[in-house]
């Protein structure tokens, strides 16, 4: 087995209003720290995001935000807010099709990582995989500022506890996704490890958090290469 085959391959999903290139820059400290054990593959969501979140703020001529994308929308005006109860999941089917295509083209993947709406999607994918409704085989997940989608079409998810190892990174000062929402998501997984940090809606990369990432990833690395 070559050195590259030894490494874990992780699919990385960005947050709302981001893209693959921006997310790669944001996570570069993580990429550098885990490079001995991990190769990351970044993908951009399929849906461009409106210029503003509030439709009342739209002006004549306002169209789309260049290079800002989302995985699905929970408002009829094609915007999204993670804490919203109800609403559609517009564009979700297209996202699932994209993920399956990425896995077929660039996989197989050992794990998957997501931030914010990307983390929400990671959890949904894990549930679909558990029920054998999607063509993926992720063996672990890293969920940063994650939450359960409250879109009406997603309320049927998480009826079973999902037996996949997960690392949940939660910011105690997260003003975008409240802590209790991330904690509730962690309860949906059988093998969940919760890591807290004092910051907000960010991907923490302090030495303490790097150790947490390293420990989790190294265990997955050993599991793959010693099995």
Residue showing tokens 């290139």:
21
Give the phi and the psi of residue 77 in degrees, each rounded to 5. -90, 15
Question: Which helix H or strand E contains 126, and what residues bound it?
Answer: helix 117-130
CA distances from 93 to 86, 90, 98, 205 (A): 17, 8, 9, 33
The helix/strand/coil state of 167 is strand
Of the residues 127, 174, 192, 212, only one is catalytic, namely: 174
Does the annotation mark 4 as catalytic?
no
Of the residues 53, 201, 214, 223, only one is catalytic, namely: 201
Of the residues 116, 145, 182, 192, only one is catalytic, namely: 116
Pair 150, 84: CB distance under 8 Å: yes
The helix/strand/coil state of 119 is helix
Does the annotation mark 130 as catalytic?
no
Q: 65-104: buried (b, 16+ CB within 10 Å) or exposed (e) per residue?
A: eeebbbbbbbbeebbbebeeeebbbbbbeebbebbeebbe
Does the annotation mark 174 as catalytic?
yes
Pair 162, 127: CB distance under 8 Å: yes
Q: At what angle do helices 117-130 and 92-106 cross, to 10 degrees?
A: 70
Per 3-state DSSP, what percentage of the chain is helix, strand, and coil (rounded to 5)? 35, 25, 40
Residues assigned a catalytic role: 116, 174, 201
């Amino acid at each position: 087995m070559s050195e590259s085959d030894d490494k874990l391959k992780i699919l990385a999903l960005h947050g709302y209003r981001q893209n693959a290139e921006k997310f790669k820059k944001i996570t570069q400290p993580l990429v550098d720290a885990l490079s001995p054990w991990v190769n990351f593959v970044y993908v951009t969501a399929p849906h461009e995001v409106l210029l503003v979140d509030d439709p009342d703020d739209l002006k004549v001529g306002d169209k789309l935000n260049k290079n800002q994308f989302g995985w699905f929308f929970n408002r009829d005006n094609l915007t999204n807010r993670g804490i919203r109860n109800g609403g559609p999941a517009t564009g979700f089917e297209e996202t699932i099709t994209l993920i399956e295509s990425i896995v077929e083209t660039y996989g197989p993947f050992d794990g998957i990582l997501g931030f914010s709406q990307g983390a929400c999607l990671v959890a949904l994918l894990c549930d679909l995989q558990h029920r054998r409704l999607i063509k993926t085989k992720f063996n672990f997940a890293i969920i940063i500022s994650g939450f359960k989608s409250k879109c009406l079409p997603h309320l049927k998810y998480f009826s079973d506890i999902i037996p996949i190892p997960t690392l949940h990174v939660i910011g105690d000062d997260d003003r975008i996704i409240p802590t209790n929402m991330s904690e509730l998501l962690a309860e949906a997984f059988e093998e969940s490890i919760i890591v807290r940090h004092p910051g907000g809606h960010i991907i923490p990369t302090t030495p303490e958090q790097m150790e947490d990432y390293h420990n989790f990833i190294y265990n997955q690395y050993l599991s793959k290469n010693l099995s």
